[in-house]
Chain A
Amino acid sequence: MSLRLKLLLLGLATLVLPWTGIRYAREMETALRESEQHALQAVSESIAASLQGRMNLLYRNADDSAPTNLGPYDLTPLVLTAPPYIDGYPDDWPHDPRAWRSYGNGAHRFRLLTGVYDRMLYVLLDVRDPRLVFDAPGANPLDSSALGDRVWIGYEDPQGAQQQVFLALTGPGPILARRIEAGEYGKESAVEDPRIVGALQPHEGGYDIEVAMPLSMVGRQFGVLLDDRDQRGADPLSYGTLRSDDLHTLGRLIVASPSLMPYLAQFMQPGMRLSVTTPGGAVLGQSDELAVPGVLAPAPGILTQIYRRFVDRSGEPQFIASDAPIYDASHRAVIGELDVTQAANRWEGLRDRALTRMLDWTLVTSAMLVIVTFAFAAWLALRLSRLRRASESALTKPPGAILDGISPQTLVSEFPETAAPDELGDVARSFSRLLGRLDEYTSYLRSLAGKLAHEIRTPLTIVRSSLENLEAEDVPLAARQYLERARQGSDRLNAILVAMGAATRVEEAIGGAERLRFDLVPVIGSAVSAYRVAFPQRRFAAELPAEPLEIDGAPDLIVQLLDKLIDNAVDFSSAGATIIVRLRRGPAAAVLEVDNPGPPLVPEARGRLFESLWQSRTGSDSRPHFGLGLYIVRLIAEYHRGGVAASDLPDGEGARFGVWLPLADVPLLPNYNDKVKLESV
């Protein structure tokens, strides 16, 4: 794993920050919710306390005791949010199955739903009656023979008197409410009561009747009775919440006082629902603004929505609720219940703003940390790779490079990062020192051969001249052989000296060489024919191009270069082997290759073959070797701005040494060397 990746991961670890933020936000939210719950409880209790004993505020017709126990005929109208349209269709009533009351006699039943809206009482009757019988058309509503099904509404008026009206079913649509009034002579007449409106619509298996009347007409009691006739004028089957004999009411109408709603309204806040119920749970008054979004909650932004997805846990209640009993004045009996419900997200805006801000900051911080660590890592990696490149190139550069006059000293002093004050700078400095030492060491080694050659030459001259003088003397025959041996030894010593100084002499030759433009093909060609004579034990195959390959350089040096390659090839091949000398045109350079059958390159030789004083030779022959041959090849190739390479032959049965030399007609590009190196050899 690269340093960059590691540091990037380290940077990513800062993402723990937003995660912690989310955890924190959740905790905060839970705490907030709990405190809201407490606050709500306090609110509901204080509102309930303000209602304590105020029966007349709670109930429209306040009597002494609260309607704790509801009888079967007591009615608790729904608090309607909108007035139903009196058309006989029940669609615009709230769907609340528990609010229905059912009354009946055997198979004959009706369901009753009552509601209150703005001082009006609404009644919905759902009558199960397979046989709907209308009054005879045009008949006197009091004509008993013409009577069909009939609905009676009985109530106690505010003065405490029992009143009844009836709704004669005359057909689908509006139906009139009439009251029976005794006229003169006991004559009864049906007088229409315009305050009460009603409508009928038959439906499958029965019919619906809607009735609306002002609450002001009604006192404490209210009831409905149905006269169900199977045929016109027949005796009715009566059932409902009125006494069937005198049509007096049986049950109470429990409705909130008109001032309850305005009273509750003063406690209202957006996103809140206040409801007051009877001790039995029937709603008296309700002020509902739950759906009204909190004023502090502007539309959440995209970021906030994303954050919410992380923070919100599923299954959290949307609302928080609290209730408190309302006591009577003596605090003994419960006269009602107060329910306060509040949207849990009432403070969403505030909370979201805080959350968004916190998460924004942590995310920005994390992102910046990641970027900074990544940049730092990249920078570090850059420095490290610069260091690596520098140390590698310092190692591969020929010591005392003769090209362009780059001396190893300048190379070492240009070592990167040495001025950096940090640990990397320390590494670079010690690297630079190390390389400097190495460089001194190698240049000493290199010059050692030359110096040694020079220093040994004088004593050798003494030995040789002494031996030569001795030969001229009258030496006994027996001593001659020793003389001869000493001579051979000194000759060998001389050969060693010559070999040791070879690189130095080539460097001198390069220094004094004159560049001229020449065709490589005949030079290589004639050199190869010379090798055939020089090495009769080997066969030489020359593969030369038909076209001329002109380079700028010194032909003498090129021949020396080839000499060294051939020496090497001859040394590593056996007698009778064929050495192939190949010259071809590369992309931008002439490529000279020498293939010799024999052992493949030893692995440790790779990359070092062309270094000074390096050799992989294990055996020994009569000629001295100092690992300078291929170094000379490289020196000469580099003098020609070319390069060298060595590889195994494709079949593994030998080695190939290649040299590429830039062609004279190809302009030198800045990255020329890298390009040619990649493409040619």
Chain B
Amino acid sequence: MKRLIAIVEDEPAIRDNYAAAFTREGYQVRTYGDRAQAMAAFAARLPDLAVIDISLEDEPEGGFELCRQLRALSAELPIIFLTARDSELDAVSGLRLGADDFLTKDLSLAHLIARVNALFRRVDALRKPPGDEAQIIRRGPLALDVERMRVEWDGRVVLLSLTEFWIVHALTRHPGHVKNRQQLMDAANVVLDDNTITSHVKRIRRKFQSVDPAFDALQTVYGMGYRWIE
């Protein structure tokens, strides 16, 4: 059975373009223009994944509310936030809404689809019983479950968004090597400017530090990029 993706987006052209792309990828798509419409549909049937625009018509932050309601219905449902502004990324992240990724709208469709696929893979992996240890990268206190896209530090879970996970993954694959911003962007399937990468890295650090205040493994090499120190 085809997986169902719900797109909540007030701009019909974008909504339809996204729908077309996902349909082409073999997903079943439902689109909604506002929160009430979406919630009514979700109450009837939960989608397998939701792509939600933060600003919905007359509600500038209607997406947040929708996310909260959706999360109340399902704890595992993958949610991707779309924003028109880079500056909202921090705000979204700070709200701890339990979304799986935050993206800006200038992300290309290919990248969006890569994310959706990755999130579905994770859902699948979580459903399978744990077993294949080879998929887990260990770097000191860090344990990176590539399959489930889960990160543990000292045995404690660090909740990273998909973009953040990919950045950490790219850095930890070759510890000590400097990854420049472009490499990180490629790894995370995003096209961002330098400031956004910097703020992503900052958020990653903050998330690790909330688990372990002494966290110091993610270093900045000024002018070049970042590296992971064991």
Q: Which residues of A contact B (CB under 8 A)?
A: 454, 457-458, 460-462, 464-466, 468-469, 472, 494, 497-498, 501-502, 504-506, 508-509, 512, 522-524, 526-531, 533, 555-556, 558-560, 562-563
A460 touches B106 (CB 8 A): yes
Asked whether B223 lies within 8 Å of A529 as measured between CB atoms, the reply is yes
Binary interface profile of B, 126-137, with partner A (CB < 8 Å = 1, else 0)? 000000000000
With A509-B199, A556-B198 given, is the CB distance from A465 to B109 under 8 Å? yes
Q: With A472-B24, A506-B195, A560-B194 as known contacts, state yes or no: A462 contacts B224, CB within 8 Å.
A: no
Complex CA distance for A465 and B222, rounded to whole angstroms? 35
**Whole-angstrom distance between the Cβ of B199 and the nearest chain A Cβ:** 7
A530: chain B residues at CB < 8 Å are: 222-224
Give the chain A neighbours of B108 by CB distance below 8 A: 464, 468
CB within 8 A of A559: which of B18, B105, B223? B223
* Nearest CB on A from B196, distance (A): 8
Chain A residues lying within 8 Å of B76, measured Cβ to Cβ, are none
Q: Are B21 and A462 in contact (CB under 8 A)?
A: no
A512-B17 CB under 8 A given contacts A458-B84, A530-B224 = no
CB distance from B34 to the nearest CB of A (A): 16
Whether A466 contacts B11 in the complex (CB less than 8 A), given A458-B84, A526-B222, A526-B223, comes out as no
Q: How far is the CB of A566 from chain B (nearest CB, A)?
A: 9
In the complex, the answer to whether A469 meets B17 with C-beta atoms within 8 Å is: yes
B114 within 8 Å of A (CB atoms): no
A16 to B189, CA, bound (A): 89
A512/B90 contact (C-beta < 8 A), A458-B14, A460-B106, A464-B108 known: yes
Chosen A-B contacts, 30 in total, with CB atoms closer than 8 Å, are A454-B85, A457-B105, A457-B106, A458-B14, A458-B105, A461-B106, A464-B108, A464-B109, A465-B14, A469-B20, A469-B21, A469-B24, A469-B109, A498-B193, A502-B193, A505-B195, A506-B195, A508-B195, A509-B198, A509-B199, A512-B202, A523-B222, A526-B222, A526-B223, A527-B223, A529-B223, A555-B222, A556-B220, A559-B223, A563-B194
- The size class of the interface chain B forms with chain A is 20 to 34
Q: Is the CB of A462 within 8 A of B13?
A: yes
Q: In angstroms, how far is the closest chain B Cβ from the Cβ of A91?
A: 115
Smallest beta-carbon distance A252→chain B, Å: 134
Contact B106 A464 (CB under 8 A): yes
- Distance in Å: Cβ of A304 to nearest Cβ of chain B: 85
Q: Chain B at the A interface: mostly helix, strand, loop or mixed? A: helix
Instruction: Please give the residue numbers on chain B whose beta carbons come within 8 Å of chain A beta carbons, in ascending order.
Output: 11, 13-14, 17-18, 20-21, 24, 84-87, 90, 105-106, 108-110, 193-196, 198-199, 202, 220-224
With a cutoff of 8 Å between Cβ atoms, the chain A residues found around residue B106 in the complex are 457, 460-461, 464, 494, 497
Residues of A within 8 A of B11 (CB): 458, 461-462
Chain B's nearest CB lies how many Å from the CB of A533? 8
- CB pair B222–A559 under 8 Å, yes or no, is yes
B contact residues around A497 at 8 Å (CB): 106
| Nearest CB on B from A176, distance (A) | 137
Instruction: Let me know if A505 and B87 touch, CB within 8 A.
Output: yes
Chain B's closest residue to A523 (CB) is B222
Are B195 and A454 in touch, CB under 8 angstroms?
no
Contact of A466 among B13, B87, B202 (CB under 8 A): B13
**A509-B195 in contact (CB<8A):** yes
Q: Which residues of A contact B110 (CB under 8 A)?
A: 468
Min CB distance A498 to B, Å, is 5
**Interface pair B14/A461, CB less than 8 Å apart:** yes
Q: How far is the CA of A563 from the CA of B24 in the complex (A)?
A: 42
Q: Which 6 A-B pairs have the closest CB atoms?
A: A527-B223, A530-B223, A465-B17, A462-B13, A468-B109, A523-B222
Which A residues lie within 8 Å of B13 (CB)?
462, 465-466
Q: Which residues of A contact B90 (CB under 8 A)?
A: 512
Tell me whether A454 and B21 are in contact (CB under 8 A): no
- The residue on B at minimum CB distance from A455 is B84
Collect the chain B residues with CB atoms within 8 Å of residue A461's CB.
11, 14, 105-106
Which A residues are in CB contact (< 8 Å) with B193? 498, 502, 505
Across the interface, do B84 and A462 meet the contact criterion of CB distance under 8 Å? no
Q: Which residue of B lies closest to A566 (CB)?
A: B223
Closest B residue to A462 by CB, please name it.
B13
User: Which chain A positions have C-beta within 8 A of B194?
Assistant: 560, 563
Most chain B CB inside 10 Å of its own CB: which residue of A497, A505, A563:
A505
Q: For A524, what are the chain B residues with a Cβ–Cβ distance below 8 Å? A: 222
A529 to chain B, nearest CB (A): 7
Q: Which residue of A lies closest to B53 (CB)?
A: A458
Q: Which residues of B contact A502 (CB under 8 A)?
A: 193
